């Protein structure tokens, strides 16, 4: 066989691999804790705005939604009623999507409050297995808190997305798995490019993706300018993608981003490369989510029936 023919076949093989990869799961981090509507008027803040954005992103191809809550002043909150209102509005607007509620610390430090969203029994929750610096704060997740939250995940059978800002957070997750808190297959999100944590480089993405156990799934959340480039790399590498205004407020051309526009961008890139986009049920299967738990969250967020008069 000539060298040219061999090279042509090798090219065809790698193209085939993209075709054979798992379908791409697109997650949207809709709101986060830091951005405001002053920074980007497309930011969804109220339950109604969040639900409308979910529907538009779902129509564009996203299936998994990372959800925070804000109070009436747009401030981040762990108030459980605010989470419930978001969940009710989202599930009414787009019943089939997968919800991943945030347990992040910017909205409060009380352990029970941070675990509250997991106790609502969404299909997934976020779980940062270590501490690091972020702009203006230490993002503190002590070993004691991590073990407490891992216990809540175990007891509720909610699947955690392990948020990895630094390599040690993978080791911490594997330690929790060894102690019986977390079950394989684990799902990781590599958060790269946040000021104060690991820079958003391809080298770091490759290193992290090769540092997790075989059979795990992973996604990447590139912060700021690294969002679309790292997403593109993840599409080619067989990972999954998280985009959204929580992580990045601008399109690559510098214009203000909107969640549906970011999803459309990812879908276009993935189709150009030849990788198909996962439906919600295909994403459940890829992430090994129990389909029986699909609507469990609805029981916990139903409005309380009015009290009977004595
Ligand atoms: Zn978040």
Map out the domains of the chain as residue ranges: 23-295
pTM: 0.92
Radius of gyration of the chain (CA): 19
CA torsion, points 56, 59, 65, 70, in degrees to nearest 10?
Answer: 10
Per-residue pLDDT at 10 exceeds 60: no
Ion ligand 1 — residues with CB < 5 Å: 102
Model confidence pLDDT, tens digit, residues 16-50: 577 778 999 999 999 999 999 999 999 999 999 99
CATH topology of domain 23-295: TIM Barrel (3.20.20)
C-alpha 196 to ligand 1 mean position (Å): 16
Model confidence pLDDT, tens digit, residues 235-291: 999 999 999 999 999 999 999 999 999 999 999 999 999 999 999 999 999 999 999
pLDDT tier for residue 13 given thresholds of 50, 70 and 90: low
C-alpha 80 to ligand 1 mean position (Å): 16
C-alpha 111 to ligand 1 mean position (Å): 17
C-alpha 36 to ligand 1 mean position (Å): 14
C-alpha 65 to ligand 1 mean position (Å): 10
């Amino acid at each position: 066989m000539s060298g040219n023919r061999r090279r042509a076949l090798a090219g065809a093989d790698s193209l085939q691999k993209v075709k054979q990869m798992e379908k791409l799961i697109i997650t949207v981090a809709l709101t986060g804790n830091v951005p405001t509507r002053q920074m980007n008027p497309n930011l969804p803040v109220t339950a109604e705005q969040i639900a409308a954005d979910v529907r538009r992103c779902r129509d564009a191809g996203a299936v998994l939604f990372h959800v925070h809550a804000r109070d009436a002043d747009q401030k981040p909150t762990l108030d459980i009623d605010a989470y419930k209102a978001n969940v009710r509005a989202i599930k009414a607007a787009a019943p089939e999507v997968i919800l991943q509620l945030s347990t992040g610390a910017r909205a409060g430090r009380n352990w029970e409050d941070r675990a509250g969203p997991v106790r609502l029994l969404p299909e997934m929750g976020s779980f940062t297995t270590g501490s690091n610096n972020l702009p203006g704060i230490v993002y503190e997740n002590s070993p004691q808190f991590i073990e407490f939250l891992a216990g809540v995940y175990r007891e509720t059978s909610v699947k955690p997305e392990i948020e990895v800002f630094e390599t040690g957070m993978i080791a911490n997750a594997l330690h929790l798995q060894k102690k019986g808190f977390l079950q394989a297959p684990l799902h990781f999100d590599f958060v790269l490019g946040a000021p104060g944590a690991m820079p958003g480089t391809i080298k770091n993405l490759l290193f992290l993706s090769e540092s997790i156990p075989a059979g795990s799934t992973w996604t990447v959340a590139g912060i700021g300018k690294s969002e679309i480039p790292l997403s593109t790399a993840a599409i080619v590498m067989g990972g999954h993608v998280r985009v959204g205004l929580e992580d990045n407020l601008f399109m690559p051309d510098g214009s203000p981003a909107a969640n549906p526009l970011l999803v459309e961008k990812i879908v276009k890139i993935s189709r150009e490369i030849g990788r198909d986009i996962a439906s919600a049920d295909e994403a459940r299967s890829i992430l090994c989510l129990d389909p029986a738990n699909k609507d469990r969250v609805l029981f916990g967020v139903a409005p309380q029936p009015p009290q009977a008069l004595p």
